[in-house]
A and B are shown apart, each in its own frame.
Chain A
Amino acid sequence: MSRLISYEKKNTPVHKLSGFTKLVFFIVWCMASALTFDTRILLTMLVMGLIIYKISDVKWKQVSTIFAAVMFFMVINLTCIFFFAPYQGTVIYGTKTEIAHLFGNYSLTQEQLFYEFNVFIKYFTVIPAVFIFLTTTDPSELASSLNGIGVPYSIAYSLEIALRYIPDVQDEFRRIKNAQEARGIEMSNKGRLIDRIKNVAIIIFPLLFSTMERIDVVSNAMELRGFGKKKTRSWYSRKPLRTADYAVIVFIILFFVATMVITYADGSRYFNPFV
């Protein structure tokens, strides 16, 4: 199993921002990317994403395996779109400029290529944001800053527990898988579907039951230490919001409004170079 992306302590302007600021930035950024289909805005976002990626000093080594996975997914998805709907672009942009006839009902059109290019960069605006968010945000600090702006601390705490326990559960998963393989259980993709479900169940059963036990142990420990008895709690890693945080939050909100105005100014969410 590949190593997961994780937080790395560094001293860059992005690392110094509060976790809350980065979460707000990330979510608003995703919303902007989801709502627009304007090529100019998507390209601007792509460039901005790459600049912030550079500033935040993310090492290529940290993210390269994930990058390969997402590229693989994109290639399949774009091919799939073409085979299901070779004229989707023509429908969206309203014109039809053929480049070459391929076979049967399929021909390659400029509109289709442009549409798929848009889908492609739309995904690509989110990828740097994900990498930056995951590698520059300290989970404990994120939980404390979420609580700081009014999220109930039980919810903030559960997010912190999730991030804290992913490596542990992953280790447990690996141990159980190795043990079952040692018993001679076939884990590869051979065999009938029902056998494969059975083999997965053989891992999931012990994993789920040990997880339920872990939930009991951890919640008993927290109860013993008086978790949830008071309305507020203090945090070791609390960082108050600073001027830079407010500046970033104001910027991303203005940026979002601007993208929406530019995208929908001509009444359509698509930027159309064909008319």
Chain B
Amino acid sequence: MNFKIGIKEVVAMGIGTALFVVLTNVQIPLIVVPNTALQPRMAILAFLSAVFGPIVGLVVGLVGHALGDALFYGSVWWSWVIPDGIVGLAIGFFANKFAVKEGGFVNSKNIILFNIVQVVVNAVAWIICAPVLDILIFAEPANKVFAQGAFAFLGNIVVIGILGTILLVAYSKIAGGSNNLQAED
């Protein structure tokens, strides 16, 4: 497990958070349930955790979500900030296994592992953690927050599953290869 923080991790936390914040209002709305939408920034969070490890994932999730809320919506919904931190942290635990920078994320074994991890983690974060915090903090009706949580879960697994996987595979191909030369026939 990669708990060491080097210069690269410090910068990745900083610029990664900035990217996450900027993408806050890039959303694909789902009309069904208010205040939930497909969030492409979740793919960025999954990507950064899978590449740089748990600490970077945790910081980008927590600070990025809190700052994004504050800058774009003028308030901070802590009950949804914490689950984002959990997602970043948990995916990051598998960073060494994925070996994205070493070109390891091109085989299907890692892709499947990544998707199993992200579905489990998102379930814990959005079906359990976020609604429970909403009930504890705001005493909001259980059926409302669990409906919102379920849609956030579905949206996030779709975004991370499609966009996150594609981004990781593409990056792993570029970063892993020592050069771009190919043998000619």
Q: Report B-chain residues with C-beta under 8 Å of the C-beta of A99.
A: none
Q: Specify which of A1, A34, A161 is in contact with B78 (CB 8 Å cutoff).
A: A34
By the criterion CB–CB under 8 Å, are A205 and B13 in contact?
no
Question: Residue A52 at the B interface, CB < 8 A?
Answer: no
Of A206-214, A234-242, A256-264, the stretch lying at the interface with chain B is: A206-214
Of B25-33, B90-98, B102-110, B114-122, the stretch lying at the interface with chain A is: B25-33
Q: Specify which of A4, A164, A173, A227 is in contact with B71 (CB 8 Å cutoff).
A: A4
Give the CA-CA distance A228 to B138 in the complex, in Å: 42
Q: Report A-chain residues with C-beta under 8 Å of the C-beta of B76.
A: 30, 126, 130
Q: For window 211-267 of chain A, which residues contact chain B by CB distance below 8 Å? A: 211-212, 214-216, 218-219, 222-223, 227-228
Q: For window 123-147 of chain B, which residues contact chain A by CB distance below 8 Å? A: 137-144, 147
Give the CA-CA distance A173 to B17 in the complex, in Å: 14
By the criterion CB–CB under 8 Å, are B163 and A92 in contact?
no
By the criterion CB–CB under 8 Å, are B70 and A130 in contact?
yes
Q: Report B-chain residues with C-beta under 8 Å of the C-beta of A215.
A: 8, 11-12, 15-16
B154-183 to A contact mask, C-beta < 8 Å, 1/0 = 000011001100110011001000000000
Question: Residue B21 at the A interface, CB < 8 A?
Answer: yes
Give the CA-CA distance A197 to B159 in the complex, in Å: 8
By the criterion CB–CB under 8 Å, are B34 and A80 in contact?
yes
Question: Residue A131 at the B interface, CB < 8 A?
Answer: yes
Secondary structure dominating the interface of A: helix
By the criterion CB–CB under 8 Å, are A30 and B78 in contact?
yes
Question: Residue B111 at the A interface, CB < 8 A?
Answer: no
Q: For window 1-17 of chain B, which residues contact chain A by CB distance below 8 Å? A: 5-8, 10-17
Q: Report A-chain residues with C-beta under 8 Å of the C-beta of B34.
A: 76-77, 79-80
A80 and B13 in contact (CB under 8 A), knowing A162-B63, A204-B167? Answer: no
CB distance from B52 to the nearest CB of A (A): 9
Q: For window 65-100 of chain A, which residues contact chain B by CB distance below 8 Å? A: 66-67, 69-70, 73, 76-77, 79-81, 84-85, 88, 92
Question: Residue A50 at the B interface, CB < 8 A?
Answer: no
- Contact-size category for B: 35 or more
Q: Report B-chain residues with C-beta under 8 Å of the C-beta of A203.
A: 26
By the criterion CB–CB under 8 Å, are A80 and B35 in contact?
yes
Give the CA-CA distance A147 to B70 in the complex, in Å: 23
Give the CA-CA distance A196 to B28 in the complex, in Å: 7
Chain B residue at smallest Cβ distance from A91: B141
Give the CA-CA distance A208 to B15 in the complex, in Å: 11
A208 and B47 in contact (CB under 8 A), knowing A80-B144, A81-B141, A200-B40? Answer: yes
Complex A-B: 10 CB contacts under 8 Å: A1-B25, A4-B72, A63-B74, A66-B74, A85-B142, A85-B143, A162-B21, A173-B22, A215-B11, A227-B10
State the 8 A-B residue pairs at the shortest beta-carbon distance, nearest first: A161-B14, A85-B141, A84-B144, A162-B17, A158-B13, A165-B18, A66-B74, A219-B11
Mark A residues whose CB is within 8 Å of B: 1-2, 4-5, 30, 34-35, 37, 63, 66-67, 69-70, 73, 76-77, 79-81, 84-85, 88, 92, 115, 119, 122-123, 126-127, 130-131, 133-134, 154-155, 157-166, 168-170, 173, 189, 193, 196-197, 200-201, 203-205, 207-209, 211-212, 214-216, 218-219, 222-223, 227-228, 270
